[in-house]
Amino acid sequence: MSNTPRHIAIIMDGNGRWAKKRGLPRVKGHEKGAEVVREITTYCANHPEVKVLTLFAFSTENWKRPKHEVEFLMKLLEKYLKKELPLYQKEGVRFETIGDISPFSASLKERIEITKEETKNNEKLIQVLALNYGGRDEIVRAANRACKAGVVLSEDNFDQFLDTSRLGEADLLLRTGGEMRLSNFLLWRAAYAELFFIKTLWPDFTKKELENIIDEFKKRERRFGGI
């Protein structure tokens, strides 16, 4: 029996170090990283088994970075969404987000909404960008929604209150950049994900490497607590 990598989740880490190694400002690493998102999204859209690709793009903790870097990331995101709309349409990618986008600028929020609306009928892949996302924040907001609705929570009904509701369990969780931590990503959804930590910095990551990781994933025995 082989595993299906239906939902792949990636912590795209190492942009700053990639730039530093080249004597460039950190933000150049983010720019190169956005190109890699394009390559990996195209690969996943054309993979027969991958249906959801969740990418950690900005965490609830990333606001701690210098103001100019945060501003650069916000602008880059807006530019990226505008530029990649034809790619989403060509490759059949539906765009979604998780996380609390309420603090974002009006124009970025508008761009996010336009991209979701324009791509809502695309069916080959759901690309989910985690924006101002934190696993704890997702759980707390979900619990508050349930509370408001007067629902007594269970593991089964909690799902519907999460940002990641409808996305299904993460099967394969990968972090580039060499750190071995989750940094508050997908705490609920990744309960039984197969974890991969690789040294490659995100701007150097390739579809070939993802292909190898998927091959490795297929060889793992997923027991889910059984025997």
Q: Catalytic: 157?
A: no
- Catalytic one of 62, 100, 137, 159: 62
Position among 9, 11, 13, 138 found at the interface with Mg ion (CB under 5 A): 13
The whole-angstrom separation of Cα 55 and Cα 205 is 14
Does 62 engage in binding with ligand IPE (CB under 6 A)? Answer: yes
The two structure tokens encoding residue 65: 């970075």
One-letter amino acid of 148: K
The two structure tokens encoding residue 157: 């009904």
Position among 5, 134, 135, 177 found at the interface with ligand IPE (CB under 6 A): 177
Contact 42/91 with Cβ under 8 angstroms? yes
The nearer residue to Mg ion, 42 or 62, going by C-beta atoms, is 62
The 7-11 sheet, strands edge to edge: 93-98, 125-133, 52-59, 7-11, 172-175, 194-197
The whole-angstrom separation of Cα 97 and Cα 130 is 6
Site string for Mg ion, 107-126 (x = CB under 5 A): --------------------
**C-beta of 98: minimal distance to ligand IPE in Å?**
12
Catalytic residues: 13, 62
Binding stretches for ligand IPE (CB under 6 A): 11-17, 56-59, 62, 73, 177, 179, 181, 183
